[in-house]
Amino acid sequence: MSDAAPISIRHYRPEDLEILRRITVDSFGSVALDQMLEDRLGVWNGRDWKARKADHIDEDCTVNPEGCFVAERQGEVLGYITTRVDRVNSIGRIPNLAVVEAARGLGLGRRLIHHALDYFREQGLQAAKIETMASNVIGQSLYPSCGFEEIGRQVHFAMRL
């Protein structure tokens, strides 16, 4: 793969799902709420945080496949972004965004966010939202630099049953 080759953003295809799941697990780690739950409560139901986090991508790609986008260079998937559309309330939401480690620092996360925002505008939506964990230093910096402003903070509670 040549670093000089252009990176394109295209619509998600079902055959992308396994690589998106892998990128998700490789990218989130210590900033995934699911891992924090596991660190505190242990593994349950025979499924670790990686399986639960990857399931989010399955759901995103099933619920709104036309709003899922993949960044690739010469056929190699480098990242993705998923979206949800609430037409009743005219809000677009970005539930997941990830870039492979080798492609970080190229502005790809920013390009994917702007692509999603353009998609929301094409859908006629009035607002967009994205969230991140306080421990996600990249998200804490990237999202405001893309025009998002912090609205509020949420505290997550959990318990083992």
- The answer to whether 80 touches 20, Cβ cutoff 8 Å, is yes
98 strand-pairing partners: 80
Would you list the domain boundaries of the chain?
A: 8-145
- Measured CA to CA in angstroms, residue 99 lies from 37, 69, 96, 107, 158 at distances of 23, 12, 10, 10, 29
- Measured CA to CA in angstroms, residue 156 lies from 51, 153, 160 at distances of 20, 10, 14
pLDDT band at 66 (very low <50, low <70, confident <90, very high): very high
C-alpha 44/C-alpha 38 separation (Å) is: 8
Residues 68-83: tens digit of each pLDDT? 999 999 999 999 999 9
Residues of the chain with pLDDT > 90, as a percent, come to 73
Beta strands, E only, 3-153: 8-11, 69-73, 76-86, 91-99, 127-130
Residues 110-149: tens digit of each pLDDT? 999 999 999 999 999 999 999 998 888 888 999 999 999 9
Q: Which CATH number fits domain 8-145: 3.40.630.30, 3.30.390.30, 2.30.29.30, 3.40.50.1100?
A: 3.40.630.30
- The confidence score (pLDDT) of residue 1 equals 47
